[in-house]
C-alpha cells in the first residue's frame, strides 16, 4: 500500500510542482495520513492557481493574415524556462517547468512544421466521472509537438487515446496550412471548435479560461470574468484591424482591465507620482499573482516557410518579464536568458522577473493579502519609471526589430546563421535592459 501511495504522491508533486519523484518515501501509516493531509491542501492550492487564459485566433481576422495562439499561464510552478527538443519525428521547443530538467511536459510550444499547441485546465468536463487518472495535459502536448504537422494530425492523436484519457482541458492548435482549432477534451470524449468557421467564431477567435462550453456551468469552474475581459479586448481589436502578436502580448497578456469592475488599473493609477506606494485589490485580471509566463505563437500563411513561425515568450511573471521571440531555425541556439541555468535552477529572465515581482506584491503577512493586493505604483507612475513602463519601452524595440527581420526573411529566406546572430543581439539587448533599468544581472 505504501508503494502505491508513494507513487501517487510523487507523480502529483512532479506534475504540479516539478519535485523530484525519487525523494518521496512514505514508511508508516501515520506518515501516510500526514502526507495525504498535506496533499489535500496542495491540491486545493493547485485548483486556485491553475487558472490559465488562452485563445486561438484565425489568420482571416489578424492584421497580417497569420493565425495566433495565446496562453497566459497560471500555475504553482512559477519557475519557467524554454527548452529545445530533437527526440521525435519533428524538432520542437516549448515552455517547461524549470525543475522539469528532462522536459517531460510542455505547456505551450511549436515545431518545425509550424504546428503549435497550448492548453488551459478545465474544471467542468469530468464532473461525476469516477476515473481518477489526470494530469496528462503537458505530456500529450509534448507528444503532439513531436509527431503532429497539422490540426488533423492532432485530432487523429486524440481519437487514438485510451479511455479514460487522463485529460480535462481546452487545447488550442494552429498549423502552417491555416488551421486554427480549439478542442475541449475530457476522459470520455472531445469536442472541436473551428476558429475559421464564422458560425463557430463570427469574429475569428475562440477564448477559453478554466471551463469548457460543453461542460457543466457552475461554481466548479472558473474564469468567467477573465473570459469576458478578453472578449471585449479582442472584439475591439478585430473591429479596428489591430489584431497582432504585439497587441495580444502587451494589451491582453499584460493588460490590467477588468470587465466586471469596469476599471483599467493603468489608467486609474498611472498619473500618481513615482515612489508613492499605492495598493489596489487585484483579482480576476488576466495576469494574476500566480501567472508564471505569457506566450503568443504567430503562425504563417499557407505556402510560407513553416520555420518562420514565431513564439513570443514572456517567461516568468508577465508584468515584470520581457517578450522575446523564438524560432526553430536556430535549434538550441536561442537566447540564453530563456534557458535553464544550473546555478539558478531557473532561466535568468524568469529569475529576474520573480525578483521584480516582490516589489509588485511586497506584502508578506496574511493568507490572502500577498495575492490580492498589488502595489500598482511599482508598475506605472506619472513620470513613466514604473517596472512595466520601462520594460515596455525596450520591448517595443525588440518588436520593431523582429518585425523588420521577419519581413526580410519572408522576402529573402531565413538562414540558421542569420537567426543565430539575431538571437545573440536579442540576448545582449535584454541583458543590458535589465541591468540598466533594474541593476539586475541576467
Q: Domain limits of the chain?
A: 2-47, 50-438
Residue 21 has pLDDT above 50, yes or no: no
In whole angstroms, what is the distance from residue 309 CA to residue 109 CA? Answer: 11
Reduced to 3 states (helix: H, G, I; strand: E, B; else coil), residue 430 is helix
pLDDT at 51: 80
Banded model confidence at residue 35, pLDDT cuts 50, 70, 90: low
In whole angstroms, what is the distance from residue 188 CA to residue 208 CA? Answer: 20
Phi-psi region at 67: left, alpha or beta (left = phi > 0; alpha = psi -120 to 50): beta
CATH 3.60.60.10, applies to 50-438: yes
Residue 143 has pLDDT above 60, yes or no: yes
In whole angstroms, what is the distance from residue 125 CA to residue 214 CA? Answer: 7
pLDDT at 27: 54
pLDDT digits 0-9 by tens, 357-378 = 999 999 988 878 888 999 999 9
Helix count and strand count (H, E) for the chain = 11, 17
pLDDT at 31: 56
Residues 144/108, Cβ–Cβ less than 8 Å: no
Q: How many CB atoms lie within 10 A of CB 354?
A: 18
37-51, 135-149, 159-173, 335-349: which has the minimum mean pLDDT? 37-51
Cell of 163: 479511455
Residue 10 has pLDDT above 60, yes or no: no
Residue 222 has pLDDT above 90, yes or no: no
Residues 264/257, Cβ–Cβ less than 8 Å: yes
Residue 243 has pLDDT above 90, yes or no: yes
Amino acid at each position: 500500500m505504501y508503494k502505491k501511495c508513494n507513487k501517487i504522491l510523487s507523480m502529483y508533486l512532479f506534475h504540479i510542482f516539478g519535485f523530484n519523484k525519487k525523494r518521496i518515501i512514505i514508511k508508516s501509516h501515520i506518515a501516510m495520513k500526514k502526507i495525504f493531509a498535506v496533499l489535500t491542501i496542495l491540491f486545493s492550492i493547485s485548483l486556485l492557481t491553475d487558472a490559465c487564459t488562452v485563445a486561438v485566433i484565425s489568420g482571416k481576422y489578424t492584421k497580417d493574415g497569420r493565425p495566433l495562439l495565446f496562453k497566459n499561464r497560471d500555475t504553482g510552478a512559477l519557475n519557467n524556462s524554454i527548452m529545445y527538443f530533437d527526440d521525435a519525428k519533428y524538432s520542437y521547443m516549448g515552455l517547461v517547468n524549470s525543475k522539469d530538467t528532462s522536459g517531460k511536459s510542455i505547456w505551450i510550444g511549436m515545431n518545425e512544421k509550424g504546428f503549435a499547441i497550448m492548453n488551459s485546465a478545465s474544471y467542468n468536463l469530468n464532473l461525476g466521472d469516477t476515473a481518477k487518472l489526470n494530469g496528462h495535459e503537458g505530456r500529450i502536448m509534448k507528444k503532439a509537438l513531436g509527431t503532429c504537422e497539422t490540426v488533423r494530425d492532432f485530432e487523429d492523436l486524440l481519437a487514438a487515446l485510451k479511455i479514460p484519457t487522463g485529460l480535462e482541458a481546452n487545447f488550442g492548435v494552429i498549423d502552417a496550412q491555416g488551421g486554427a482549432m480549439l478542442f475541449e477534451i475530457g476522459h470520455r470524449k472531445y469536442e472541436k471548435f473551428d476558429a475559421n468557421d464564422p458560425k463557430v467564431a463570427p469574429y475569428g477567435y475562440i477564448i477559453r479560461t478554466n471551463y469548457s462550453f460543453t461542460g457543466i456551468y457552475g461554481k466548479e469552474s472558473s474564469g468567467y470574468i477573465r473570459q469576458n475581459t478578453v472578449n471585449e479586448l479582442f472584439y475591439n481589436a478585430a473591429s479596428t484591424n489591430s489584431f497582432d502578436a504585439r497587441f495580444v502580448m502587451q494589451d491582453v497578456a499584460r493588460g490590467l482591465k477588468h470587465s466586471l469592475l469596469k476599471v483599467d488599473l493603468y489608467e486609474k493609477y498611472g498619473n500618481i507620482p513615482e515612489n508613492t506606494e499605492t495598493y489596489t485589490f487585484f483579482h480576476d485580471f488576466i495576469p494574476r499573482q500566480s501567472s508564471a509566463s505569457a506566450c503568443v505563437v504567430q503562425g504563417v500563411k499557407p505556402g510560407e516557410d513553416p520555420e518562420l513561425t514565431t513564439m513570443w515568450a514572456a517567461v516568468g511573471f508577465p508584468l515584470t518579464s520581457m517578450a522575446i521571440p523564438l524560432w526553430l531555425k536556430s535549434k538550441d541556439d536561442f537566447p540564453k536568458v530563456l534557458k535553464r541555468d544550473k546555478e539558478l535552477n531557473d532561466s535568468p529572465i524568469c529569475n529576474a522577473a520573480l525578483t521584480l515581482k516582490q516589489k509588485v506584491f511586497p506584502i508578506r503577512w496574511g493568507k490572502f493579502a500577498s495575492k490580492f493586493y498589488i502595489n500598482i505604483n511599482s508598475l506605472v507612475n506619472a513620470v513613466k519609471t514604473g517596472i512595466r513602463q520601462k520594460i515596455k519601452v525596450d520591448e517595443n524595440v525588440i518588436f520593431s526589430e523582429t518585425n523588420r527581420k521577419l519581413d526580410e526573411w519572408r522576402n529573402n529566406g531565413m538562414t540558421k546563421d542569420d537567426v543565430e546572430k539575431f538571437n545573440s543581439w536579442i540576448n545582449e539587448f535584454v541583458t543590458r535592459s535589465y541591468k540598466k533599468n533594474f541593476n539586475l544581472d541576467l
